Amino acid sequence: MPWEVFSASITEAEKLAQSEDFDYLALIGSGFNSLRRYTPTLLDALDMKAAPAARELHAGIELLKNMNQHQSRKVPDDAPTGFIRKRWESLVYTPDGIDRRFYELCVLSELKNALRSGDIWVQDSRQFKDFEDYLLPPTRFEGQREDRKLGLAVETNCDNYLESRLATLDQKLITVERLAFADQLPDAGISPSGRLRITPLDNAVPDAAEALMQQAYSRLPHLKITELLLEVDNWTGFTQHFTHLKSGATAGDRQLLLTTILADAINLGLSKMAESCPGTTYAKLTWLQAWHIRDETYSAGLGSLVNAHSRQSFAAYWGDGTTSSSDGQNFKAGGRGQFAGHVNLKYGQEPGVQFYTHISDQYAPFHSKVINATVRDATHVLDGLLYHESDLRIEEHYTDTAGFTDHVFALMHLLGYRFAPRIRDLADRRLYINGDTKQYPTLAGLIGGRINVKHIRTHWDEILRLAASIKQGTVTASLMLRKLGSYPRQNGLAIALRELGRIERTLFALDWMQNVELRRRVQVGLNKGEAKNALARAVFLNRLGELRDRSYENQRYRASGLNLVVSAIILWNTVYMERAVQALREDGRDIDETLLRHLSPLGWEHINLTGDYIWQQDKQVEQGKYRSLRTLQRS
């Protein structure tokens, strides 16, 4: 390369290169003209109110509305600016005054944050209304508190509550400090640098359990998914819950209703299902879906299946129905549904949708909902525990790392649930104490600070009111957790709830360090949910397993139909596995009772999920009998 050409390229590169302090926020200005096509109409249409923390921003919004009405271009020198963050200052303030483009863009950006946090609300809006309007009215709350009818699982007197809880915290800290100093924490320890080490659990499933599983499943009869649904409905009558929207009558054609449900569950869609099911038309399926398929009918039908499963004696081998776990399962969004999906780098670069499902220790998936793939799972953990339609009484719940926040720890305790998440980076999570760090020299490297007890006392009534509102259904838990955790809200209630959660999280971490059985219980519970996901993936097989529905309503129907059919498969497997095990005993096999808890009703190899969907039933089943088990091939 000639020197002149090289020198010229260096000069050009210097012109193109940005300075080290360049902020790409400046590039947002290029989109201002596009925003102006609709922002004046948007701001004019919405009647917004503001909390004290957002009054400056609200004044800025009103200023923009006034400028739009009078077609003013210059921002007044006395314009409200208290909401402008440091990052925006160099763009908004110029030698010639306030830059109109970046001032308006800054207002709109802060408005987004304020709407999410509840610092600004919209009159007559259901999603963005005043934070106070979500909660129980103060007079009603006080009356229930006096009558002891809040429905909470804790002492409502703040002094008594804190005295008891902090005493428990101190006692456990002393116990763990003593064990850690003596290096007697079970399968755990504190390194010389102060870092927590926990030994991974080994596989607790014996080889004999796997052999028994194969023997039991080899006895299960082969059948079509249509036959399975008809048989399960004969046992439970779950289709009776899919009532007519207007008249409340049950569906006149049970097979047509099951066809519609199955179309959701296997992700085939109504038009393709009409082609795959002889005697069915697309018009019939759409009519039935419009009048009989709703969120509440799906929930009621699922509840009847879960209740029937919990009554099975064989299900007791897996648990007593008092513990559960929850996890999100990502489904890729394809076709037109691609525009309704969101990218979560945990699952790759392609957009997707999450089905968030709660499953009991007996393998019954008792609640499912569609959530944004980019939203933290913790936001939706409580919804499944509070709003399911089954008779399960969950006492302890497990999640993975994405399922917890300090706010969730606090609300779980207030509402009477023991929360036990499997925290991947537990060693990096700090403990919080009420006393002096010098009392715990071995744990000093794990302690992050002191509990702000004063803040909890100050906002105790607000904490109780929030928890009671969630418990009584005045507002959903996910909505309040989303608002409390949204940026940039740092109001007193959010901070106080966080401090309360730090107490509960520290207590849980101390239990985790000294209780191997707790660790194993959590791992077993989460493994059940992950195994259920494999069955759900196998059932949701059509369209390459992709969600291609753009509407949130259709996505919910897909999730609900899938969960209901998976629950039906689990119930059918449970009933016939009990019969298979009994048959093995009658054949002279010596069955070790301790191995039965390691079996699983999640197999599907014996179920035909594809082909034409013909609703014919086995003659034995029509007569109220069970299907004949397969006989083992003897060598």
Question: What is the rounded radius of gyration, in angstroms, for the C-alpha atoms of the chain?
Answer: 29
Tell me, yes or no, whether 235 and 349 share the same domain: no
AA letter at 464:
L
Contacts within 8 Å (CB) and 24+ apart, 171-178:
172/507, 172/510, 172/511, 173/431, 173/433, 173/439, 173/440, 173/443, 173/510, 174/439, 174/440, 175/510, 175/514, 176/443, 176/510, 176/513, 176/514, 177/439, 177/440, 177/441, 177/442, 177/443
Of 534, 563, 597, the domain-final residue:
534
Q: How far is CA 590 from CA 208, 381, 573, 581, in A?
A: 12, 42, 22, 10
Give the pLDDT score at 543: 84
Tell me, yes or no, whether 481 and 548 share the same domain: no
Tell me, yes or no, whether 223 and 250 share the same domain: yes
| Owning domain of residue 351 | 158-203+320-534
AA letter at 492:
G
**Nearest one of 299, 300, 297 to 288, comparing CA atoms:** 297
Q: How far is CA 393 from CA 207, 384, 386, 418, in A?
A: 33, 12, 10, 12
Give the pLDDT score at 20: 63
- Is 561 part of a structural domain of the chain? yes
What is the rounded distance in angstroms from the CA atom of residue 563 to the CA atom of residue 569? 10
What is the rounded distance in angstroms from the CA atom of residue 565 to the CA atom of residue 542? 15
Tell me, yes or no, whether 30 and 52 share the same domain: yes
- Is 449 part of a structural domain of the chain? yes
What is the rounded distance in angstroms from the CA atom of residue 278 to the CA atom of residue 93? 70
- Is 13 part of a structural domain of the chain? no
- Is 143 part of a structural domain of the chain? no
What is the rounded distance in angstroms from the CA atom of residue 484 to the CA atom of residue 479? 9
What is the rounded distance in angstroms from the CA atom of residue 434 to the CA atom of residue 170? 8
Of 513, 534, 555, the domain-final residue:
534
Which residues lie closer than 8 Å to 410 by C-beta, 6 or more apart? 463, 497, 498, 500, 501, 504
Tell me, yes or no, whether 573 and 479 share the same domain: no
Identify any residues that bridge with 371 across adjacent strands, giving them in sequence order. Answer: 354
Which residues lie closer than 8 Å to 273 by C-beta, 6 or more apart? 259, 260, 262, 263, 280, 285, 613
What is the rounded distance in angstroms from the CA atom of residue 474 to the CA atom of residue 132? 11
Give the pLDDT score at 622: 85
- Is 16 part of a structural domain of the chain? no
Identify any residues that bridge with 50 across adjacent strands, giving them in sequence order. Answer: 120
Identify any residues that bridge with 398 across adjacent strands, giving them in sequence order. Answer: 325
CA dihedral 538, 542, 546, 551 (to 10 degrees): -120
Tell me, yes or no, whether 415 and 451 share the same domain: yes
Tell me, yes or no, whether 360 and 487 share the same domain: yes
Q: What is the number of structural domains in the chain?
A: 3
Strand pairing of 607-608 and 365-372?
unpaired
Q: Is 491 helix (H, G, I), strand (E, B) or coil?
A: coil
Q: State CA 186 to chain mean position distance.
A: 32
Tell me, yes or no, whether 463 and 489 share the same domain: yes
Mean pLDDT per 10-residue interval, the chain, length 635 residues: 89 73 80 91 92 88 94 92 91 92 94 84 84 89 93 93 96 95 92 87 85 94 95 96 94 95 94 92 95 95 97 96 94 68 65 92 96 86 95 96 92 96 84 91 91 93 95 91 69 88 96 94 94 95 84 91 97 96 90 92 95 86 88 60
Q: How far is CA 395 from CA 143, 352, 556, in A?
A: 28, 32, 27
- Is 176 part of a structural domain of the chain? yes
- Is 340 part of a structural domain of the chain? yes
Q: Is 324 helix (H, G, I), strand (E, B) or coil?
A: strand
Tell me, yes or no, whether 377 and 394 share the same domain: yes
Of 534, 561, 580, the domain-final residue:
534
**Structural tokens at position 372:** 């944004």
Q: How many CA atoms lie within 13 A of 543 on its CB side?
A: 25
Q: Is 276 helix (H, G, I), strand (E, B) or coil?
A: helix
What is the rounded distance in angstroms from the CA atom of residue 173 to the CA atom of residue 451? 14
- Is 162 part of a structural domain of the chain? yes
Tell me, yes or no, whether 502 and 427 share the same domain: yes
Alpha helices in 485-551 (DSSP H): 492-514, 516-539
What is the rounded distance in angstroms from the CA atom of residue 598 to the CA atom of residue 520? 14
Element housing 396 (H / E) = strand 396-398
Give the pLDDT score at 270: 93
Task: Count CB atoms within 10 A of the CB of residue 272.
Answer: 15
Alpha helices in 387-491 (DSSP H): 406-414, 453-458, 460-471, 477-484
Tell me, yes or no, whether 383 and 512 share the same domain: yes
Query: Could you tell me if 135 and 469 are in contact, meaning their C-beta atoms sit under 8 angstroms apart?
Result: yes
**Structural tokens at position 219:** 């006895």
Tell me, yes or no, whether 299 and 432 share the same domain: no
